[in-house]
Amino acid sequence: MATMQDVANRAQVSIATVSFVVNGTKRVTDATRERVEQAMRELGFRRNPVGAALASGRTRITALLFPVLERPLSHTAVTFFTSASRRARERGYDLVLWPIGTDIEHIDLLARGGLVDGVLLMEVQLEDPRVAALADQNVPFAMIGRTEDPSALPYVDIDMAASMREALRRLEDLGHRDIAFVRSPNPTYNHGAVSRAHDAYLKAMEERGAPPTVITCEELPHEGRLLGERFAAEHPALTAVILMNEHAAPGFMTGLARAGVRAPADLSVLSLGSSAYMAEMTDPPLTYLRTPGPELGELGFDALAARLEDPERAPTQTLVPCDFVAGGTIGPRA
């Protein structure tokens, strides 16, 4: 079995330098780290995570908290934590998915057990009990999403105001004025992104002097199908829809087709906050504003790493808008 001395000899560095890399107790240059890690791979040397934690007082393990009890998991959501996990490895950390609810008992467990160095929060509520619990327990954290008042907190988030303006502009350029916003009902889980998109829609419609139409739909394919089937009968004046509910989106398009409503000839549909994977589930493929999941996953972990490595640093606060992807579901107003 290879030893640290073997690794030091192969990499032509001191055994202390190898220890710094293995245990994360002192920063070394990227070139030196790569040389040491290459030697470790060639020799089959394996880190001892328990020993590293004892040496440094840190596990170099972080947790991503995703409340699967309140929010269904989508392919789009997966892009956030796969990119965050990749960035964690690049920075010498491990990231584990902690699929719990928004109750704070698990926060206490994380803090008391010293299981992780820090936490990345997803699906953040406007009033999120996890934030106060982490602060009370002195657990470093960053958010993908943000609370109602995030002024002193580290976060990266979708710029929903800018994304909604872009969605409306795209439809207005095609002559649409009667535009609905379809969202999840969100009665008990006040999701920050959905709430901000809702507020931005109402504000924009008021500025335009156009009547707003907000329609709620459960985040389930069959609920989307039912809504699509009755949509034209209940809302005959509407010519376009901004759909922020990708779990219901394929069903919604199926329901429209069953009711004889053609997209985009009869109704333009623009999905807000989605991915190519979801857009390609419909025929024609959805036109959508892409959720910047890969970008925000990486930036979110960078924000957490900044808290871990320099606690006195001003918190990272970054907004990234969705970007437009052409599909086959929006067209000129009939």
**What CATH number corresponds to the domain at position 276?**
3.40.50.2300
Task: Please indicate, yes or no, if residue 117 is contained in any of the structural domains.
Answer: yes
> In this structure, are 165 and 153 located in the same domain?
no
Question: In the predicted model, what is the mean pLDDT of the chain?
Answer: 89
Task: Please indicate, yes or no, if residue 244 is contained in any of the structural domains.
Answer: yes
- Domain with 279, as residue range(s), is 160-291
Tell me how crowded residue 82 is: count the other CB atoms within 10 A of its CB: 15
Task: Please indicate, yes or no, if residue 28 is contained in any of the structural domains.
Answer: yes
Residue 101 backbone dihedrals phi, psi, to 5 degrees: -85, -165
Place of tokens 């606690």: 311
- Classify 324 as helix, strand or coil: strand
Residue 282 scores a pLDDT above 90: yes
Task: Please indicate, yes or no, if residue 182 is contained in any of the structural domains.
Answer: yes
The pTM of the whole model exceeds 0.75: yes
Average pLDDT estimate for 220-227:
96
Q: What is the pLDDT of residue 270?
A: 98
In whole angstroms, give the CA distance from residue 53 to residue 44: 21
Tell me how far the alpha carbon of residue 243 is from its chain's centroid: 18
How many Å from the N-terminal Cα to the C-terminal Cα in the chain? 73
3-state helix, strand, coil in the chain (%, to 5): 45, 15, 40
Task: Please indicate, yes or no, if residue 327 is contained in any of the structural domains.
Answer: no
Strands 179-183 and 141-144: unpaired
Task: Please indicate, yes or no, if residue 26 is contained in any of the structural domains.
Answer: yes
Task: Please indicate, yes or no, if residue 90 is contained in any of the structural domains.
Answer: yes
* Helix ranges restricted to H, the chain: 4-11, 15-23, 30-43, 49-56, 75-90, 105-113, 129-136, 160-172, 192-208, 221-234, 249-258, 276-279, 293-309
Place of tokens 């596990």: 59
> In this structure, are 284 and 242 located in the same domain?
yes
> In this structure, are 277 and 190 located in the same domain?
yes
> In this structure, are 98 and 211 located in the same domain?
no
Listed residues 56, 80, 98: the one ending a domain: 56
Percent of the chain topping pLDDT 70:
90
> In this structure, are 118 and 194 located in the same domain?
no
Listed residues 56, 80, 99: the one ending a domain: 56
Residue 97: band (very low, low, confident or very high) from pLDDT cuts 50, 70, 90 = confident
Structure tokens at 265: 């000839």
pLDDT, greater one: 326 or 114: 326
Nearest to 267 by CA among 247, 290, 248, 243: 243
Listed residues 21, 40, 56: the one ending a domain: 56
Place of tokens 């710029």: 159
> In this structure, are 24 and 86 located in the same domain?
no
Q: What is the pLDDT of residue 112?
A: 67
> In this structure, are 267 and 311 located in the same domain?
no
Q: How many domains does the chain have?
A: 3
> In this structure, are 148 and 297 located in the same domain?
yes
30-35 contact pairs (CB < 8 A, 24+): 33/92, 35/11
- The burial class, CB within 10 Å (0-12 / 13-18 / 19+), for 259 is middle
Q: What is the pLDDT of residue 48?
A: 61
CB 115 within 8 A of CB 59: yes
CA distances from 292 to 183, 187, 191, 307, 324 (A): 19, 26, 17, 22, 11
- Kindly report, residue by residue over 160-209, the tens digit of the pLDDT: 999 999 999 999 999 999 999 999 886 545 788 899 999 999 999 999 99
In whole angstroms, give the CA distance from residue 33 to residue 28: 6
> In this structure, are 175 and 265 located in the same domain?
yes
CB 101 within 8 A of CB 121: no
> In this structure, are 52 and 142 located in the same domain?
no
Q: What is the pLDDT of residue 218?
A: 92
> In this structure, are 164 and 260 located in the same domain?
yes
Task: Please indicate, yes or no, if residue 12 is contained in any of the structural domains.
Answer: yes
In whole angstroms, give the CA distance from residue 297 to residue 53: 25
Q: What is the pLDDT of residue 73?
A: 75
